[in-house]
Amino acid sequence: MPVSGETVSAHKTKLLAEFLTAHPTVHLHFTPTYSSWLNQVEIWFSRIEREVIARGVFTSLTDLARKLRRYITAYSATAKPIKWKYSDPSNHIGNVLYATPH
pLDDT of residue 48: 94
Higher pLDDT, 3 or 46: 46
Domain of 45 in residue numbering reads as 10-81
pLDDT of residue 91: 61
- Structural domain contains residue 2: no
How many distinct structural domains can be found in the chain? 1
- Structural domain contains residue 5: no
pLDDT tens digits, one per residue of 49-97: 999 999 889 999 999 999 999 999 999 999 887 676 666 666 655 544 5
In single-letter form, the type of residue at position 20 comes to L
Higher pLDDT, 33 or 68: 68
pLDDT at residue 44 greater than cutoff 80: yes
Higher pLDDT, 63 or 13: 63
Q: How many CB atoms lie within 10 A of CB 76?
A: 8
Higher pLDDT, 50 or 98: 50
Instruction: Please provide the distance, in angstroms rounded to a whole number, between the alpha carbons at the two ends of the chain.
Output: 13
Q: Is the dihedral of CA 17, 19, 20, 24 positive or negative?
A: positive
- Structural domain contains residue 66: yes
The DSSP line for 44-70 is HHHHHIIIIITT---SSHHHHHHHHHH
Q: Does the pTM exceed 0.75? A: no
CA atoms of 7 and 14, how far apart (whole Å): 9
